A and B are shown apart, each in its own frame.
Chain A
Amino acid sequence: MMNKKILTSVLLVALASSLIGTATIAGFTSQASNINNTVATGKIYLSADRDDTDPAPGPLFYFDNETDGAAQDGYSTPGTKEDGYWYPGKQSGIKVLDVYNGSTLQPSIPIKLIGLDAVVEDPTPENGVDDTILKNAIYIKVWGPLDPVGVYRWQGYLSDLTNGNVHQFATPFAMSRIHKQTLNFQASMPTDPPGDDNDYQGKNIKVQFRVYATQN
């Protein structure tokens, strides 16, 4: 008797649901949508050129324009800031590296330049003599053009820069999506460099500087 009552209740509920459902489908309807939404990641377009009064790819530091200072192939711009020979007490002129984040054709994302390092490009000893010892005597300073005089984002020996670590700038350089940031480099050889000064005579070292960025 009890089972019969339950069965009846269930059937009634099912019937009611069916009626309600039919009534809903029978009404006016409308729909709207928001489609073609895209999600794309940004990209950092970072590049750097030497600026010897006319930006062109080429080394910041070089002996002379004829030997190793000319701009890379495809650029006629000669180097105008020759260093000549290095010796204790010598200081280079201010070398300018233009770092670009993005361009009108390739907008980047906001970034900050966080640090730099260097790699010895020709570590092969010449005539059995390891010329890379010269990195122990070359002192590098890096700063921005608007920084106070005597305040550097990084300074230290070339041997520090080539030790395999990225060296953080004291303060990062913030760069917008399309932005050129000028970095000033200056090298010097102290009047009394570490070790025996004469160990540095007649040496040549070639290095690549690398500037690192991360999203801001």
Chain B
Amino acid sequence: MKKRLLLSFMMIALVAALVGGATFAAFTSSASNSNNSFTSGSINLLADGVTTTNSFNVTGMIPGATGTDTFAVSNNGTLALRYKMTLTKTGDTGFLTGVAPAVIITVKDSTGTPIVFDASGVSDYRPLAALTGSENLTVEYSFPDRADNNDFQGKTGSFSIALDAVTP
């Protein structure tokens, strides 16, 4: 009885080996396509050739004061880009901030057209070409003479323009 059982097991093993062998016996081949390259581009937005620049450090300002500064926004990356500006103003209440601030900040493009900022201080996107793309922006401040001038004696404020670029 044991001998028959052993024989049965051996037969099953043999069949399994044959079946397994058949599975792995197929002819195979492969073909290839070489030298495929993927090169990612880059964008690099600069203000006056650096990542951070400064236009004004004004002290002792009096009513009627104005000032301008021009800086170049450029892209020396390999891809064209578009960028937006976010104008942020802080400081004493009503000096730079508010609906009718004492000091007015204006940003103009190279044609002298004022940049429009929404209620959050964000502009529309502006395009800049790759490698050589550049435009000059002019920043102006003015402290017009007004009836409540004295309310702004000894006040301070600051503003910054953040430039954020993305690929087209």
List the A residue with the shortest CB-CB distance to B37.
A206
Once A87-B79, A213-B29 are accepted as A-B contacts, the answer to whether A187 and B34 lie under 8 Å apart by CB is: no
Contact of A44 with B28 in the complex, beta carbons under 8 Å: yes
Partner of A62, one of B31, B36, B41, B78: B36
Query: Within the assembled complex, what's the spacing in Å between the Cα atoms of A174 and B75?
Result: 51
* Contact surface of A with B, Cβ cutoff 8 Å: 41-48, 50, 58-63, 68, 83-89, 97, 99-100, 109, 111, 121, 134, 137-138, 158, 187, 189, 200-215
Contact of A59 with B27 in the complex, beta carbons under 8 Å: no
Contact of A209 with B30 in the complex, beta carbons under 8 Å: no
Q: Smallest Cβ distance from A208 to chain B, in angstroms?
A: 4
Q: Smallest Cβ distance from B134 to chain A, in angstroms?
A: 19
Report how many residues on chain B are interfacial, defined by Cβ distance under 8 Å: 22
Contact of B33 with A88 in the complex, beta carbons under 8 Å: no
Partner of A209, one of B32, B37, B42, B43: B32
Contact of A63 with B40 in the complex, beta carbons under 8 Å: no
Say if the beta carbon of B51 comes within 8 Å of chain A.
Answer: no
List the A residue with the shortest CB-CB distance to B27.
A215
Partner of B36, one of A45, A46, A61, A200: A61
Say if the beta carbon of B35 comes within 8 Å of chain A.
Answer: yes
Q: Smallest Cβ distance from B128 to chain A, in angstroms?
A: 14
Residues from chain B with a CB closer than 8 A to the CB of A99 are: 31
Query: Within the assembled complex, what's the spacing in Å between the Cα atoms of A184 and B84?
Result: 38
Say if the beta carbon of B167 comes within 8 Å of chain A.
Answer: yes
Once A59-B36, A87-B167, A88-B167 are accepted as A-B contacts, the answer to whether A201 and B31 lie under 8 Å apart by CB is: no
Within 8 A of A (CB), among B33-88: 33-43, 77-79
Contact of A203 with B39 in the complex, beta carbons under 8 Å: yes
